[in-house]
């Protein structure tokens, strides 16, 4: 049994890696392949007459770790400059506008079917959030400009969606006092995030033991769980930490920067990015294969659910196009890259049983994920190859020299 598990697990990781390598050439989003692998594994288990394990209980924990690592991996690649401030405001604006408009639209629609308005909005949030777990890997096949937009937008979408979701779950009555507390929690979370990010960066520069990156990641997970325990928007911590590490040269003007060893720090950050990318790959592949394994395949062809999923998919596309036009942003390829995925699944399975809606079920969620992922293929199939627009990869040694000169 143990040998069989090792054979299957290692084979799936290798197959997932193969498609990860080939995806820039095939232009097929990796999530479609991974879900297909999970479904294929399910059929093989049934065909061979093996006992089908219940893996649904693993998804929430694995998905949470995956979400943290994916947001961290994406933000570690982003460089903040004054010229990018308009991009930040635009991506935050469209992420916020997208969630609010779709939530209200679906919320009113569900409310007309006899459900309470609060429960209707709560069940609409998972469908309204863009999944960075799918969007960020796909963005790497697009131009640099589109890639940065999608990474920022999907990360903001995750943070806004999770924060709004947690607020509705924890709040019995929505009034001025609860909204004020909610805003205060966001402010506290931002301050805590900046302090934690600087401390973690300092620790990263001062650790001399050969084992250092896994403890740092474990500490990040611990701080995330701690923030969640205090009902703070914990994803802000991950976003801020990633941005601080990615833009560490911006703190060279601070008086206490002499505590860092610039040459060693940049090398360690480069290694930290590499191990984060490797861990993110393993968790992402495992999550989507397991989710594909748990899908009830016959239900995917349910015509009633399929019709509802098609209507919601049309709403997603039309509202996104209108928002892009309103903000004077390019419709292609941005309108295509608004997938639902890991964060959608996580929020859906986190809805309290007393607040779930019959119309929003796993079948509907899966159909919407597949539709938005297949639609996203349009952006990857018809966009220019990223290799034509990407600059040469940054040399870590050049960055070390910049930091060294700034301290002279």
- Specify whether the CB–CB gap between 183 and 125 falls below 8 A: no
Token pair 């097929």 in the structure block, residue: 28
Q: What is d(CA 300, CA 283) in angstroms, rounded to the nearest whole number?
A: 25
pTM: 0.82
Q: What b/e string do you get for 89-118 counting C-beta neighbours within 10 Å, with b at 16 or more?
A: ebbbbbbebbbebbbebbbebbbeeebeeb
Q: Which two tokens stand for residue 334?
A: 């941005």
Q: What is d(CA 218, CA 207) in angstroms, rounded to the nearest whole number?
A: 15
Burial level of 172, CB count in 10 A (0-12/13-18/19+)? exposed
Helices (H), 295-341: 303-326
The domain ranges of the chain are 2-407
- Specify whether the CB–CB gap between 287 and 342 falls below 8 A: yes
Angle at 346 between CA 287 and CA 213, to 5 degrees: 55
State the distance between the two ends of the chain, measured CA to CA, in whole angstroms. 61
* Domain range 2-407, its CATH number among 1.20.1250.20, 1.10.40.30, 3.40.50.300, 1.20.1530.20: 1.20.1530.20
- For residue 258, the model assigns a pLDDT of 61
Encode the chain (408 residues) as per-residue pLDDT tens digits: 456 667 777 888 888 888 888 777 777 778 888 888 989 988 888 887 877 887 888 888 888 888 888 888 877 877 777 888 888 888 988 999 999 999 999 999 999 999 999 999 999 999 999 988 888 888 877 888 888 899 889 988 988 888 888 888 877 677 777 778 778 877 887 888 788 877 777 777 777 777 888 888 888 888 888 888 877 777 788 878 888 778 777 765 566 666 666 667 777 788 888 898 899 889 988 988 998 898 888 888 888 899 999 999 999 999 999 989 988 888 888 889 999 988 898 889 889 888 999 999 989 999 999 999 989 887 777 765 444 444 444 455 544 444 444 443
- For residue 2, the model assigns a pLDDT of 59
Q: What is d(CA 296, CA 107) in angstroms, rounded to the nearest whole number?
A: 26
Q: Which helix (H) or strand (E) is 97 found in, with range?
A: helix 85-112
Computed from CA positions of residues 91, 233, 249, 391, in that sequence, does the dihedral angle turn out positive or negative?
negative
One DSSP character per residue, 197-220 reads HHHHHHHHHH--SS--HHHHHHHH
- For residue 260, the model assigns a pLDDT of 62
């Amino acid at each position: 049994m143990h040998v069989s598990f090792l054979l299957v697990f290692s084979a799936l990781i290798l197959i997932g890696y193969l498609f990860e390598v080939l995806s820039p050439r095939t232009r097929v989003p990796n999530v479609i392949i991974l879900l297909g692998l999970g479904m294929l594994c399910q059929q093989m288990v049934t065909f061979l007459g093996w006992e089908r394990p219940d893996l649904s209980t693993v998804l929430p924990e694995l998905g949470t770790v995956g979400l943290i690592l994916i947001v961290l991996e994406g933000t570690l690649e982003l460089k903040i400059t004054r010229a990018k401030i308009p991009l930040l405001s635009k991506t935050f604006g469209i992420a916020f506008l997208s969630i609010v408009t779709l939530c209200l639209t679906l919320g009113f629609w569900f409310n007309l079917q006899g459900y309470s308005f609060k429960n209707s909005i709560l069940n609409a949030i998972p469908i309204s959030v863009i999944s960075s777990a799918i969007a960020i890997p796909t963005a790497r096949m697009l131009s640099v400009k589109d890639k940065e937009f999608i990474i920022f937008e999907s990360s903001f979408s995750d943070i806004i969606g999770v924060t709004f979701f947690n607020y509705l779950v924890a709040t019995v009555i929505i009034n001025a006092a609860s909204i004020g507390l909610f805003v205060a929690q966001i402010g506290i979370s931002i301050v805590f995030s900046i302090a934690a990010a600087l401390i973690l960066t300092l620790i990263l520069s001062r650790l001399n033991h050969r084992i250092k990156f896994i403890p740092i990641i474990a500490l990040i997970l611990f701080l995330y769980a701690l923030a969640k325990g205090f009902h703070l928007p914990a994803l802000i911590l991950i976003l801020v930490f990633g941005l601080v590490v990615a833009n560490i040269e911006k703190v060279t003007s601070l008086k206490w920067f002499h505590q860092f060893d610039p040459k060693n720090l940049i090398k360690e950050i480069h290694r930290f990015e590499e191990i984060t990318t490797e861990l993110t790959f393993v968790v992402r592949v495992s999550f989507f294969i397991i989710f594909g394994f748990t899908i009830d395949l016959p239900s995917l062809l349910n015509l009633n659910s399929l019709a509802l999923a098609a209507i919601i998919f049309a709403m997603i596309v039309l509202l996104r196009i209108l928002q892009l036009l309103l903000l004077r942003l390019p419709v292609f390829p941005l309108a295509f890259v608004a997938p639902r995925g890991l964060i959608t699944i996580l929020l859906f399975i986190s809805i309290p049983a007393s607040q779930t809606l019959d119309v929003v079920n796993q079948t509907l969620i899966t159909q919407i994920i597949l539709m938005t992922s297949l639609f996203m293929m349009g952006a990857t199939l018809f966009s220019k190859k990223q290799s034509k627009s990407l600059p040469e990869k940054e040399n870590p040694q050049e960055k070390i020299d910049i930091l060294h000169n700034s301290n002279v």
